[in-house]
Amino acid sequence: MPVRKFRSVADMPPAAALPPLEPRNLELACELSALAVRLAPRRFPPGVHRYGSIEAASDARERWERTSRIKPSR
C-alpha cells in the first residue's frame, strides 16, 4: 500500500461513507472506542469516598477533573 502525503487535511480525500444499518458499523464503533480507551485511559480513584458535605464532594471532583485531564503533547 503506497504512502500518500498531503500538505493539509483539506487536501485529503473524504473518507468513504458507510451504508446505514450495516452490521460492520457497530463493530467499527466498538473498535474505535477500545482504541480511545487504550490511547487515553481515564483513571478513577479506587474505593468509595464519603464527604461531609456537597461542597467537599464537589471540590474533590474538581481536583480529580483537573488532574485527570489529558495533557497535550508538544
User: Greater confidence, 74 or 46?
Assistant: 46
| Three-class secondary structure assignment of the chain | CCCCCCCCHHHCCCCCCCCCCCHHHHHHHHHHHHHHHHHCCCCCCCCCCCCCCHHHHHHHHHHHHHHHCCCCCC
- Residues 41-46, mean pLDDT to the nearest whole number: 79
Question: What pLDDT score was predicted for residue 73?
Answer: 52
CA-based nearest residue to 28, from 43, 15, 41: 15
Structure-block grid coordinates of residue 10: 483539506
> 71 falls in which pLDDT band (50, 70, 90)?
low
Instruction: Report yes or no on whether pTM surpasses 0.75.
Output: no
